[in-house]
A and B are shown apart, each in its own frame.
Chain A
Amino acid sequence: MDEEIMSTLVNNYPLGDAYDELIGNDGQPRQASRPLFDFLADIDTNTLDARRQTIEAAIITMGITFSVYSEAGNIDRAWPFDIIPRTIDRKEWVRIDAGLKQRLTALNLFINDIYNEQHIIKDKVFPGKVLAGSVNFRSQCCGITPRFGVWAHICGTDLVRDKDGTIYVLEDNLRVPSGVSYMLENRQLMKRLFPEIFQSITILPIDDYPIQLHDTLVALSPSDCERPVIVVLTPGIFNSAYFEHCYLAQQIGAFLVEGSDLIVKDDYVYMKTISGLRRVDVIYRRIDDDFIDPEVFRPESKLGVPGLMRAWRKGTVGIANAPGAGVADDKVVYAFVPEMIRYYLNEEAIIPNVPSYLCMYDDQCEYVLSNLDKLVVKPANESGGYGIIIGPRATQEERDRFAKLVRANPRNYMAQPTISLSTAPTLVNHHLLPRHLDLRPFVLQSNQVSVTTGGLTRVAMREGSLVVNSSQGGGSKDTWVVDTEDY
């Protein structure tokens, strides 16, 4: 297939059962992806392959990597990237953007309420026993109201699309969500790869994210100085997202620090510099709550800073995300978000939740256990796709083992019907084949709320696979929000 032209590839595209983001049911490109395919139609596969190789070389020299915990010795891997972008129509995006802002606003009202008066529990909208069983609830944070009442300043919300085209929120990542650097780098790669196409279509830019992140963090500074000292607190070079920590620190003009670079004296946080100690105003921490302060949380933690919580409680330093924000990053709490939106904002959720069954309720638990072969069951507090079971794809033995886990700790599990995750054409050995994907936009909130334009599209590179996490063999695509008013 030396001289094969892309249009033939498109014509041969084996559209599956799932909703395809780029190709409609009629086999023709959707409105937002049409200019992309017009462009690809003139490119032969050799040219496309040559460009793909250029990109792969660029990824290696640019050192865009992520690390995998289990691979001893080999600490970083090149970022897997597919050159066919995922497109979203701007008209649809406007609604998603509003839905994400609405959701994070409600979540932050919830977290602040939970750590203070707990109106939502008293009004019986949210069951107190869910809180009692939450591993991410930090009693040490009770009675605190951070600036603007906001706890989760940076949120990565995972969106999926079902067969009928409905977009759902799959989960809210409110602890230390990662991936935004790859979103930004993917766009850089695409501009290197297809500069022509960016001139001919209106693809909305995404590069304002670092400035928005910077402004979000600056707003948290307790001191009035014009250029507060911001640090990105990383667990270090062996963390899977270390590349991102460096990248963001560089982009927002922050210092990249490890716990050992910081010291707390008289309830102020300082960093150790060559000319002595320097006061730190805002910490963008990429370390879990559990590890940030050995005086308060895990005493054996070497990653954190003793006394950090004292300083934060006194208000001498801003921390994003605030310790304790993870209380709402729990797959059981998730199920109550539509209620929260009604309760705090008096609005209906713009983006629906995936229907969820909570094993803490006996009737729902029975339903889950007798329908394990149809459901996806998830532990409440894991991330990265760890510990979940996809019922229809599991063996009977695996399902039996999981049923035992659920019975032993029902509060810790919830289940959802398998969403068939939408697909998009992905280049696999010179062919365009449908691969499942999701979307992680990033939402920022401090004195104002903003959303990335699009987000990080993660693709399951294996045929039929629904697991998109990079730690488990997923790849990614650039995400184009396309203004279709132009044509």
Chain B
Amino acid sequence: MLSRVAENLYWMARYLERADNTARLINSTTQVLLDLPIGAKFGWDVLIKIPDLNNLFLKHYPKMDESSVVHFLILDENNPSSILSCIRYARENTRTFREVLPTVLWERINGLYLYIQCHAQSITRSRSQRYEVLNQIIERRESIVGLVMGSMSHDTAYQFILLGRNIERANMVTRIVNVNSETLLLGDEAIIKSTQERLWMATLTALSAYQMYRHHVGLHVREQRVVNFLLKNALFPRSLKHCIGEAKSCLSMLPNNTEPMKAIQRISRRLARISIDDLKLAALHKYLEQIESDLSEIHNTISQNYFYLYRTPS
């Protein structure tokens, strides 16, 4: 497989995953905010913190209210991580390797792009229309993932897609848990007591994990249990541990994997060592910072070993 194509496949998967994650996050936040008491610290600003886009946001908007945040995250082309930008990049990337993908896949990705372009306006009109459109985006994107799984040979191209998706997911779950712990760390104790449970519930919902958590862990949303579930559960497809496991199995199918594998082992060891049950918020935050840097190390080794091998510096 061409290095350039591998890189584009990897990023296509990351962009699509990012668009999907953002859509879920916005929908779950909309739901949860309706239930929060007035004065609660948790607000729309959290959605900007998770992808770490504060500076970019403040360059274009005066304050972090709902309509600005939502516009920035869904439609703003100044934001390279907005849903529209992600889907556009994914589509442009797909154009560059249409020859390695099933034709229908290109049609679906193109269809997703045309859909969001066509419904951009209704997103800003009302919460219920926004909810509908975001759900459609999630559904269409799920159909793309289904198509990849069901109609593509599980060849090298497939491994790079899977790798991109899982690295992006791992980043997302880590960022969400980290931002939550930070929010709680800085918050007023009285309010935190009353909102903590809702906050973690929102997190579970945003990661489509609420139902599985209830099923496998319990009805009560307890901070440590949620964090444990999201980071260390081996079976839930969006948990950090599961994503790392998937990335590892992709890499095992690829050539020249020594360096990326080392990076995977590093993060796996860190994950195994830590016990969430007796972890204080401050320690958790510090721990997650390390995990984030491990994740970017995995990405770097993948880039160096597969994408930039023969690239002549321009």
Hey, which bits of chain A sit against chain B, CB under 8 A? 60-63, 232, 237, 242, 246-247, 249-250, 254-258, 260-261, 263, 271-277
Q: Is the CB of A255 within 8 A of B99?
A: yes
Contact B114 A246 (CB under 8 A): no
A271 → B minimal CB distance (Å): 6
Q: How far is the CA of A92 from the CA of B263 in the complex (A)?
A: 68
In the bound complex, how far is the Cα of B156 from the Cα of A69, in angstroms? 35
Tell me whether A274 and B110 are in contact (CB under 8 A): no
Which listed residue (A246, A250, A272) contacts B2, Cβ 8 A? A272
Q: When the two chains form their complex, are residues B99 and A254 in contact, meaning their CB atoms are under 8 A apart?
A: yes
Q: How far is the CA of A326 from the CA of B40 in the complex (A)?
A: 73
Tell me whether B114 and A274 are in contact (CB under 8 A).
Answer: no
Task: Give every chain B residue within 8 A of A246 (Cβ-Cβ).
Answer: 95, 97-99
Inter-chain contacts of B106 with A (CB < 8 A)? 63
Task: Please determine whether A274 and B99 come into contact, CB atoms closer than 8 angstroms.
Answer: no
Contact B107 A249 (CB under 8 A): no
Q: Which chain A residues border B296 with CB–CB below 8 Å?
A: none
Q: Please tell me if the beta carbons of A261 and B110 are within 8 angstroms of each other in the complex.
A: no
Interface residues in B95-136 (C-beta closer than 8 Å to A): 95-100, 103, 106-107, 110-111, 114
- Give complex CA distance A62, B4 in Å: 24
Report, as a range, how many residues of chain B touch the other chain: 20 to 34
Would you give 16 A-B contacts (Cβ < 8 Å), ordered by A? A61-B111, A63-B106, A232-B99, A242-B95, A246-B95, A249-B99, A250-B99, A256-B99, A261-B3, A272-B2, A273-B2, A274-B2, A274-B255, A275-B1, A276-B255, A276-B256
Q: Are A271 and B2 touching (Cβ within 8 A)?
A: yes
User: Given A249-B99, A275-B256, A257 and B2 touching (CB < 8 A)?
Assistant: yes
- In the complex, the answer to whether A247 meets B310 with C-beta atoms within 8 Å is no
The interface residues of chain B lying within 8 Å CB-to-CB of A254 are 99
A255:B2 contact, CB within 8 angstroms: yes
Q: B194: shortest Cβ distance to chain A, in Å?
A: 49
**Known A-B contacts A260-B4, A271-B2; A61 and B92 likewise in contact (beta carbons under 8 Å):** no
CB of A272 within 8 A of CB of B95, answer no
Q: Is the CB of A63 within 8 A of B110?
A: yes
A-B pairs, 5 with minimum CB distance: A275-B255, A249-B99, A250-B99, A246-B98, A272-B310
B240 at the interface (CB under 8 A from A): no
- Where the two chains meet, the residues of B that have a C-beta atom closer than 8 Å to any C-beta of A are 1-4, 6, 92, 95-100, 103, 106-107, 110-111, 114, 156, 254-256, 305-306, 309-311
Contact call B2/A237, Cβ cutoff below 8 A:
no
Measured CB to CB, the nearest residue on chain B to A242 is: B95
CB pair A261–B4 under 8 Å, yes or no, is yes
When distances are taken between beta carbons in the complex, the residues of chain A under 8 Å from B156 are 274
- Beta-carbon contact of B1 and A274 below 8 Å: yes
Q: Which residues in A have their C-beta under 8 angstroms from that of B92? A: 237
Q: List the A side residues contacting B309 at CB < 8 Å.
A: 272, 274, 276
- Shortest Cβ distance from B253 into chain A, in angstroms? 11
Which residues of B lie under 8 Å from residue A242 when comparing CB positions?
Answer: 95
Shortest distance in angstroms between A114's beta carbon and chain B's nearest beta carbon? Answer: 35
Question: Which residue of chain B is the closest to A270 with respect to CB atoms?
Answer: B310
Q: Are B2 and A261 neighbours in the complex by a CB distance under 8 Å?
A: yes
**A residues in contact with B99, CB < 8 Å:** 232, 246, 249-250, 254-256
Q: Is the CB–CB distance between B2 and A60 below 8 Å?
A: no
A232→B309 CA distance, assembly (Å):
22
Which residues of chain B come closer than 8 Å to A274, judged between CB atoms?
1-3, 6, 156, 254-256, 305-306, 309
Distance between Cα atoms of A274 and B98 in the complex (Å): 18
Residues in B neighbouring A256, C-beta threshold 8 A:
96-99
Known: A250-B99, A250-B103. 4 other contacts (CB 8 A): A61-B114, A258-B4, A272-B309, A275-B256
A476 to B286 Cα, complex, angstroms: 63
B95 and A237 contact, CB distance less than 8 A = yes
**B249, chain A: closest CB distance, angstroms:** 17
Minimal Cβ-Cβ distance residue in A for B95: A237
A257–B99 Cα distance when bound, in Å, is 10
Contact B114 A60 (CB under 8 A): yes
